[in-house]
Structure 1
Amino acid sequence: MKSSEIDILRFLRWIPPIHAQCVESAQNSEQRGRIQLLKSFYSLLLNQFYRGHWRDSLLVGWILVGGIPVLSLAGEPIAQISTEIPTSNVDSHPYSIVIDDAHQYGYVSICGDVAPLGEAVEDHSANQVIEFDARTLEVLRTFDVGYYPTDLLLSGSDLWVCCSTISSLFRVDLISGNVTAVPFSDSSGADIGYPSGLALGWNGEIIVSSNGGSFDGSDENIVILDPLTGEVLQRIEVAGGISTVAALEDGSLLVPVGFPGDDFTAAPQLQWIDPNDGQLLDLLVIDVETSDFPAPSDLHVLDDQSALLTIFGGSAVVYRIDLNSRTLLMEYPMESSDTVQSAVTQGAAGTFLVAEYFAGTVSRYQLDSGERIEILTGGDLPNRICVSGGRVYTTQQGIESISVHGVIGAFIRADLNLDGQLDLADPIRLLEHLFLGTSIDCDDSADTNDDGTLDLSDGIQILSFLFSQGPPPLYPFPVAGDDLSDDDLDCETTG
């Protein structure tokens, strides 16, 4: 006898005692309706059992996203999102990614290749931003911006985009879909070259950094814009290349600077700057080997008011900075020995994630001990990382896709036995929990309809989906993630 037949018989064994208990406690029409529905499933399952026409299982570890089938294994991506632009004559090479946590929409800048000197930028670079549904991973819209878009910033219903080929920001109205160019310049009226980093100011201002050093004829490499008028509110001179910037709670700007003073033999620095007058408040030198022209690549402020810094070249270390004392707090040597880390972000359960560019991996490290606990594979030149909804999204510049991995504690809704597939064994596990008191490793996975309680309606929804083309389990399904609802259920033992 097949395992699916055994599961059918196990389930049918539950019908009489459940029916009796439900009848005994049924006090309203909703409960009586559930009894009737359960009886209907009883007849349905008997019929399907004798005919042998039931669906054995839905293997949720195998999925198809963006035309790419992916097998869910530890360390391997649980999904891929294609970033290929069908109408484009250049490769997409996704650069950066941000996700609106409140509405679960994601945005990816599609940069293409750097145009060789003297050649037309449109023959090599891309100029799009892709919008996707972070629940279903379906690509929804594409917006045209400037060529070689890099950093992205969400502010209310607007998405701000900087592009390294033009001295303008692009404001995408996410409600109407309209795109508006917002030009800016240095104090002489000249263009500022290579805009590369964006941050949100304390009163909604848009802070722009330039990675061009003085190649454009000016060291005014930080510009602060009014988002409503596009007016330049402040220009700040910082000699060197700046790919990222952060507005701190103490009112200062934290600016990682490569080639400080436009000196290509100098070690990178962290500079604390007063945004009102541009004065240098403090400075921290990052002592690395400088023969490979190292420069800061990413900066992420953690919840505990420390920050993580990565260096592109010259260092196989991630640096943790105490923002209160403005000192080096900890160094995390990378086990891969890759000296090019392109991105870093906070992970779940006291971890951080770092992209190792040429190694093609994203590694998960413990914040307290610095121990590497997992390697996320399946990438090629990972450039930026974003964590949202229990998923880790990484832009892969070597391939036209975004890889998706699960965070620690991620689960698949309705997969009660955590075997990576949805079948009759899962509602049986729920019934055993409800009527025999057996334990469930992940309560959230059992809450199929995501109403914050575990009851018979969760099992009915699984059965309806498996046997009657009913609605699927709610997010996260079929790709693993976290519960987006605020309830008392938890998933402590998974991951």
Structure 2
Amino acid sequence: MSTMKHHDKAPTFLVLAALLFVFGGVTLAQNPEFEFRAPGGEAYYPVATPESATFTGSISIQQTVFPGGGPVPAPSAGYSLGMAHDPAILAINTATTVVTSTSGEEVDFEQVNIYFDGVTQGVVYSFIGEWTLTMVDATDVLEIEYQLQAGVLTDATASSTTVLEIVDTLGDPPVVNVIVLDGASFPAVPVNGTLTLTPYVGSQFIRGDVTQNGTLDVADGIGVLQYLFLFTSTTCFNALDANDSGNVSISDAVRILCAVFCPGSPAPAGPYPGCGVDSAADGGTCDDYASCP
């Protein structure tokens, strides 16, 4: 459904602007507010080859103030947005429109433009106003896959951060962050995102998943016992260290087996249940792990 073009200029968004204002002209007693939220989180990358890592995040929209301060949300008919990134650290691979009606209908018009330093999107839900969105809950509207860049990240030894910023400066003419309600255009409240970039040596892993199959079960607890008493080998010591103590002992097997069979027992320490890295400088290593990059 997404349209990705690197060099689209004014005509597309001039058409979009015209479309967004054909739904009437009612003036709202008190302006509602919609937050446009940039993604954030943590991304991991191999210390020697950061350019091999990707990060996927979504821009979301949420209505935080209703018209007149009352209890009834305002229905939106469309929007436009822009989000910038540091091109020395990130590049966009893909950007895909994911907003739909509550029943799953695709939008009638969407235009996504990718630039070296950001992305813009313009959307009209329905040309004839068949459906609208209130976005009382945070609603993902644009999913973006970023590629990390070599250069400043290469051989870094510590985590760093970069900001994904909601801006009104991308495109020619610039695309502004607005939402359309009852035929009127309202500026969005920008909420920037922070992405933490963490280098690692070896492989990411899932703590407690000793068998490296992506799930936690009795075989993982048995795997710890086999390592301790039958001297089986492992390519990922950290996966066996379920309590993140820096050592592997029978308590790690108990931690895993209780997580599987004992209601209310704690799960393995992080990273769990998804792939990640060991943030503790405890000497643990993970050279290779089948279920993680």
TM-score range, shorter chain: 0.3 to 0.5
TM-score norm. by structure 1 comes to: 0.26
- Compare relative contact order (CA 8 Å, sep 6+) and give the higher one, 1 or 2: 2
Q: State which structure, 1 or 2, has the greater radius of gyration over its C-alpha atoms.
A: 1
TM-score norm. by structure 2 comes to: 0.41
Which protein has the bigger strand share? 1
